A and B are shown apart, each in its own frame.
Chain A
């Protein structure tokens, strides 16, 4: 089955810096790669996703890149703000019904 590894487990940046979170997956059949943001006391919320027929996707300050050959994908947040502080999860699979989640990255953005 699918196995997803996520790094780093914690990431501290200064406001305005960029943050990068990386994930690797094992199943070459996976074709859907979402990223979720979880704030304290809340459920995960989808922030961006990418499918295997696309190498990069951007939405304002957030971008995701996918390297199918190497089986890794990354989340890039530019111009970080304190409200970006949260736990971020990557996931991989063949649709939401078959997603395997990474272990999460706690991002702290200091003013």
Chain B
């Protein structure tokens, strides 16, 4: 397996634009997590899904953020409208339900100017 695949690797966008980040989890994993990493706040869990169903979205900072998982092999994190303070590295991770080892993707570095 190629591991967790995220796209794009880098995204630069203007304030106010919509941004969509994509993630393909490892085949067979049924839990998927979206994290945000910044220097100030470290790694923060935004939302996680189990069997494509959002279980906990308490980490989503605002209504501008939304996440979907239409099927077991694809998830998106959308920011609309984007703001400069959203600039961060966004990671997707997947694991078996109840599993403790989660595998992270390489992240998407988002810059909002």
What residues on A are CB-neighbors of B113 within 8 Å? none
Q: A92-103 CB contact bits vs B (8 Å, 1 = yes)?
A: 000111010111
Say yes or no: A96-B99 contact (C-beta < 8 A), given A43-B107, A44-B91.
yes
Interface size class of B (residues with CB under 8 A): 20 to 34
Contact partner of A102 (CB less than 8 A), chosen from B42, B48, B100, B105, is: B42
What residues on B are CB-neighbors of A97 within 8 Å? 31, 48, 55-56
- Residue among A42, A43, A89, A99 having the largest count of chain B Cβ atoms under 10 Å: A43
CA distance A98 to B33 in the complex (A): 11
Contact partner of B104 (CB less than 8 A), chosen from A34, A45, A99, is: A45
**Residue ranges of B at the interface with A (Cβ–Cβ < 8 Å):** 4, 31, 33, 42-43, 45, 48, 55-56, 91, 93, 95, 98-102, 104-107
